[in-house]
Structure 1
Amino acid sequence: MRRALLIGCGEVGAKHADALTHAEGLDLVAVADPSPVATPPSGVPLVPCWKSALEEYAPDAVVVATPPGSALVAARAAARTGAVVLVEKPATIDPADLEPAEEDRRIYVAFQPHFAPGLAWLLSQSPTARRAAVRLVCRRDRGYYRDWRSRYATAGGILHQQAIHGLALALRLLPPGSVLSSTTEVHRVRQWGESEDRVTATIAFETGAVLTVDARVDSDEPRRHDATLHLDGGQELHVRGRNLEAGLGPASTAPDDRALRLAMYRALPAGDTGPLHPCLFPLSELRRTLEVIDHAYRNARTVPEARTAP
């Protein structure tokens, strides 16, 4: 039985706390958070300082669910103790923070939708996509943009916080290469925070690959977050779901959030040896995703307001 520590008990941390109590082979020994939003599971100690929790409980596995910036610091500190670490996306919004470090080989990014049906097979085949389209439609209310999420410097934008699941998946299958150009429009209408309400982007790479994005969080339309992949040879694959969770399977059989998290925990290696699960997303691979997002925002054009928020 591996000892697990959860760092962060906010909205996302509470979901991890619930899933970790149902994870086979993992024993949630403590939750570390100086100001928890949620109550830890019954019988699980709450510790205010994650540094002291790492020393006191000596966990084998650590899940980090804190805001960007602090998440990367905590994840690397945990990895230096020898623990294997899952850190919630995006970990940081600055790609320069991901200069390689020795401890990074024990850190993985928590993209539970990548464990959706069929994606392990797809990623194990390593096909090459020449075009990819990522679409996100959801609605975030005013309460979502509170605390650290109200500022771009601490939360990033839609592409960091919302569309990154699909972007990271698409970029794993697009051929390696630098961004050649990007055309991005940022729509800010409701003005509930420094983040935007919609981003549309077309990103071209030196390899000839093209990635398009249409991500909005101000819509009353049915929620969706999917990706369409156009592979070499003409095959077209659709990764579906409210948050990719249907994968390549039918939406009616999509696993729920807890099931995806449990699959992600099961995939964590016990040490530094052996083959990695194809759906695990190493921290080192996150840098390209953040570089693409950073390029899109740096070259973005802000579209004037079309209406005033109620």
Structure 2
Amino acid sequence: MIHFAIVGCGHIAQKHAESIQFIQDAHLHAVCDTNRITLDDFIVKTGAIGYTNYSEMLDDPKINVVNICTPSGLHERLAVQAANAGKHIIVEKPIALTLAAVDRIEEACLRNGVKCAVVHPNRFRPAIVELKKMIDQGRFGTISHVNATVRWNRNQAYYDQADWRGTKAMDGGVLMNQAIHNLDLLLWLMGPVKRVHAITSTRLRAIEAEDVAAAILEFENGAVGVIEAASTIYPKNYEESISIFGETGTAVIGGPTASWIKHWVFEHSLPSENEQLIQIIEADPYGIPGHQRIIRDMVRAIRDDREPLVTLRDGRNALKLVLDIYAAAERSAMEREEVSQ
């Protein structure tokens, strides 16, 4: 039995707790939160041992894995502390808010011989799995361009739930919080990015970070990427999509979340085959929840002594792309200011 602990008993921790309960050979042993009311509620729901002191929880020798579900600005300290206690780590996205922070986590994991997985669960959606297969099989031929779109709503009430939301030091904006999953998918599907042009803005929400962003990417393989991300869509989430366009194939995965095949055409594929795949996805667009897949994989990675499927370096790459977009947006803003003077 692999024993898990969760630190941070907020909304996302519920997904972790529920996922652990579905996995054979996994057990939620302990939970930790500094808010006693939140912690007590979570203890009642899960039956786990409760701690308000993180260091005391890490002293529990029964714990094998710590799932970090706190605000992003706390990820580095908690991950390094867990690694130093000899615990494997599953950390919610983004893995941290700076590359230096990620590097400190990695150093601690290597020094202590522990594994670290990052929660990018969209890779496991059935439609995305099929998309990855087509790329790996070369069915698109030369890819001309790709598109990632996140048109969602996070209203002011969402940000007002806690004073850390929307801050650069603890949280970030639409790129760091919502679109980072799509950026991870682009890197997983297309490989490294060579050049970035971008504009970000805070248009509607009273927050420090951005609520809308647009970027153009040049991948190392020559393909062009277009990103649109917004948390300003009225009145609710509208669309999330990943689109890939090549010389011998076109695929669009979309819907309110990128879980449904909207367009799927490839050279030498029969329309009946395409339609059958679309129907299979329609019948079960979500498949096994991504959090379950990541937690189950950690159990197997520990048993097989291998890297998790979504690694610390994967988390670092997605974070780096967000930071590169921020840097490109700053350069663009400075250029516009110089022109206006």
Tell me the TM-score normalised to structure 1 length: 0.83
> 1:87 is matched with which residue?
91
Question: CA distance change for structure 1 residues 111 and 273 in 2, over 3 Å: closer, same or farther?
Answer: same
- The 5-angstrom pairing of residues 1-310 of structure 1 reads 1-35=1-35, 37=38, 39-40=41-42, 41-99=45-103, 100-101=106-107, 103=109, 106-120=115-129, 123=132, 127=136, 131-145=145-159, 146-177=162-193, 179-180=194-195, 182-220=196-234, 222-230=237-245, 234-246=248-260, 250-255=281-286, 259-268=289-298, 269-271=300-302, 273=304, 280-300=309-329, 301=332
Question: CA distance change for structure 1 residues 107 and 161 in 2, over 3 Å: closer, same or farther?
Answer: same
Contact 1:29 1:57 in 2 (8 A): no
Structure showing the higher helix proportion among its residues:
2
- Cα separation, 2, equivalents of 1:116 and 1:172: 14
Structure 2 residue runs of 5 or longer lacking an equivalent are 262-276, 334-341
- Runs of 4+ in structure 1 off by over 6 angstroms are none
C-alpha deviation, 1:195, in angstroms: 2.2
Question: CA distance change for structure 1 residues 130 and 291 in 2, over 3 Å: closer, same or farther?
Answer: farther
Contact 2:72 2:95 in 1 (8 A): yes
| Amino acid in the other structure paired with 1:193 | I
Contact 1:166 1:244 in 2 (8 A): no
C-alpha deviation, 1:48, in angstroms: 0.8
Contact 2:167 2:208 in 1 (8 A): yes
SS at match of 1:194: coil
SS at match of 2:57: helix
- Cα separation, 2, equivalents of 1:121 and 1:78: 35
Question: CA distance change for structure 1 residues 118 and 82 in 2, over 3 Å: closer, same or farther?
Answer: farther
| CA displacement, residues 16-38 of structure 1 (integer Å, 9 cap, x when unaligned) | 22332333321111111112646
Contact 1:5 1:31 in 2 (8 A): yes
- Cα separation, 1, equivalents of 2:320 and 2:30: 34
- Cα separation, 2, equivalents of 1:70 and 1:272: 29
* Bigger Cα displacement from structure 2, 15-24 vs 287-296: 15-24
Contact 1:240 1:251 in 2 (8 A): no
Tell me the TM-score normalised to structure 2 length: 0.76
| Amino acid in the other structure paired with 1:298 | A
- Cα separation, 2, equivalents of 1:58 and 1:29: 8
Contact 2:6 2:32 in 1 (8 A): yes
Structure 1 residue runs of 5 or longer lacking an equivalent are 303-310
Question: CA distance change for structure 1 residues 196 and 274 in 2, over 3 Å: closer, same or farther?
Answer: same
* Bigger Cα displacement from structure 2, 143-152 vs 72-81: 72-81
Cα RMSD over matched residues? 2.9
Question: CA distance change for structure 1 residues 96 and 42 in 2, over 3 Å: closer, same or farther?
Answer: closer
